[in-house]
């Protein structure tokens, strides 16, 4: 083997041994660098004759090209290896099952509200929504509960700073203010009919929503839900209340032998007034009277505050507790569970 073949050979070996691109660059300097072996050989040409230069130069060039080819091959091999390693390190297992996004669902009380709206909707009731920050007027005074009325003490609530009696100044203690709000809107919408001495279409509405009181134990929460009902017309009686509410309860609890009891009571905005109790004839709650709503014939003062003549318009109202209905329906005994936000509890209703 001549001297140049040996040089090419040792360059190949040197490149082969280089394990990283940096090693390879160092090995390259030995052979192709400014003071590398090839450069040295080229310098040696200076002392030769023209013909010798040509012949010797050509073979040195061949050797140089062979070394460069070996260098490039090794460069490519190292780059391939690096890419391979990177692909392995960052490997994605596309056959792995994806992460399922959790399936959300409705809160049990929302399920009850939907149910209530569906049942009353089928009986021709509209659904109205009203503000949770309410004025003294709508929450109390318009509902025949003037300032200093003792019934106000049962509705201790949270007051908003800077409010006045007619601007929103408290968190509503019940959904009953919606009786006035909705009726006034209805009356205004039919003003022309009323002014012409004609009879306006009946008011038939439910108003579900959040309500607030200073109250907290296993069956009371400072925030709770109510659903108001109101039916006003020229000839709406307590009998209609009994029919509507009995129908509602039997449909809601899917039980035909459910019994209702209208127990005399007092509310400033109804006269006469009644608490509505229900009794299941079978199942775990059988035989007990369970209070589910307050109700009554709308008081003439309240009818007047709706903008109607109590001599011509009459009707009934009720206010029930969807939280209570939810507890009874699912057999939950602590109201607070509904509002703790524990997903283990809530997911049982999906
Ligand atoms: N608003 C009453 C309360 O929260 C419940 C109530 C009673 C509503 C009688 C009514 C009603 O509409 O007629 O205690």
The per-residue pLDDT for range 81-135, each reduced to its tens digit, is 999 999 999 988 888 888 888 888 999 999 999 999 999 999 999 999 999 999 9
Q: What is the pLDDT of residues 283-300, one digit of tens each?
A: 999 999 999 999 999 999
Name, in order, each residue with C-beta under 8 angstroms of 159's C-beta and a sequence gap of 6 or more: 169, 170
Binding site membership of 176 for ligand 1 (Cβ less than 6 Å): yes
Identify the H or E element spanning 280. Answer: none
Q: What's the angle, vertex CA 338, arms to CA 336 and CA 342, rounded to 5?
A: 100
Q: For residue 233, what is the enclosing H or E element? A: strand 223-233
139 lines ligand 1 (CB under 6 A): no
Regarding the beta carbon of 224 and ligand 1, being less than 6 Å apart is answered no
Nearest atom in ligand 1 to 226's CA: 4
Q: With a 6 A CB cut-off, is 174 part of the ligand 1 pocket?
A: yes
Alpha helices in the chain (DSSP H): 3-17, 21-32, 37-44, 50-89, 108-122, 136-139, 177-189, 191-195, 238-252, 300-305, 322-330, 343-346
Taking a C-beta distance cutoff of 8 angstroms, is the pair 165, 135 a contact?
yes
Q: What is the DSSP string of 39-90?
A: HHHHHHGGGS-HHHHHHHHHHHHHHHHHHHHHHHHHHHHHHHHHHHHHHHHT
**Domain residue spans in the chain?**
3-89, 108-349
At 1, is the pLDDT very low, low, confident or very high (cuts 50, 70, 90)? Answer: low
> What does the chain come to in residues?
350
Q: Does residue 315 line the site of ligand 1, with CB under 6 A?
A: no
User: Tokens representing 22?
Assistant: 């940096």
* Residue 316 Cα: closest atom of ligand 1: 13
CATH fold of the domain at 108-349: BirA Bifunctional Protein; domain 2 (3.30.930)
327 in Cβ contact with 336 (< 8 Å): no
| Residue minimizing CA distance to atom 3 of ligand 1 | 174
* pLDDT for 187 beyond 70: yes
Q: Whose CA is nearest to atom 12 of ligand 1?
A: 318
User: What is the whole-number distance in angstroms between the Cα of residue 315 and the centre of ligand 1?
Assistant: 14
- Asked if residue 270 has its Cβ within 6 Å of ligand 1, the reply is yes
Structure tokens at 311: 């001599």
Q: Is the CB of residue 228 less than 8 Å from the CB of residue 206?
A: yes
Enter the pTM of the model.
0.73
Ligand 1 pocket, residue 296 CB under 6 Å? yes
Residue 284: closest CA among 334, 332, 322, 326: 332
Ligand 1 site, residue 28, Cβ cutoff 6 A: no
Pocket test for ligand 1, best of 267, 300, 315, 324 (most atoms within 8 A of CB): 267
Between CA 190 and CA 342 the distance in angstroms is 47
pLDDT of 200 above 70: yes
């Amino acid at each position: 083997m001549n001297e140049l073949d040996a040089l090419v050979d040792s360059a190949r070996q040197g490149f082969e041994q280089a394990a990283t691109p940096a090693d390879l660059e160092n090995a390259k300097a030995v052979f192709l660098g400014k003071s590398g072996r090839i450069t040295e050989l080229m310098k040696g040409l200076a002392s030769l004759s023209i013909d010798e230069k040509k012949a010797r130069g050509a073979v040195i060039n061949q050797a140089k090209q062979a070394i460069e080819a070996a260098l490039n091959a090794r460069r490519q091999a190292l780059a391939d290896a690096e890419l391979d390693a990177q692909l392995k390190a960052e490997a994605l297992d596309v056959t792995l099952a994806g992460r399922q996004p959790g399936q959300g669902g409705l809160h049990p009380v929302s399920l009850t509200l939907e149910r209530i709206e569906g049942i009353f909707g089928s009986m021709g009731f509209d659904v109205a929504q009203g503000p949770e920050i309410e004025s003294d007027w709508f929450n109390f005074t318009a509902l025949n509960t003037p300032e200093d009325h003792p019934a106000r003490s049962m509705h201790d609530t949270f007051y908003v700073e800077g409010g006045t009696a007619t601007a929103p100044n408290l968190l509503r203690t019940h959904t009953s203010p919606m009786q006035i709000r909705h009726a006034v809107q209805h009356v205004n919408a039919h003003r022309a009919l009323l002014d012409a001495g004609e009879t306006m279409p009946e008011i038939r509405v439910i108003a579900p929503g959040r309500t607030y009181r200073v109250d907290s134990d296993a069956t009371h929460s400072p925030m709770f839900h109510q659903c108001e009902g109101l039916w006003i017309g020229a000839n709406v009686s307590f009998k209609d209340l009994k029919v509507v509410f009995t129908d509602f309860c039997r449909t809601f609890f899917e039980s035909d032998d459910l019994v209702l009891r209208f127990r005399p009571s007092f509310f400033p905005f109804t006269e006469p007034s009644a608490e509505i109790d229900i009794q299941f004839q079978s199942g775990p709650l059988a035989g007990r009277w369970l209070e589910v709503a307050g109700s009554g014939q709308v008081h003439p003062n309240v009818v007047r505050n709706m903008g109607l003549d109590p001599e011509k318009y009459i009707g009934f109202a009720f206010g029930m507790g969807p939280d209570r209905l939810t507890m009874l329906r699912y057999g939950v005994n602590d109201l607070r569970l509904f509002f703790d936000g524990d997903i283990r509890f809530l997911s049982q209703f999906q």
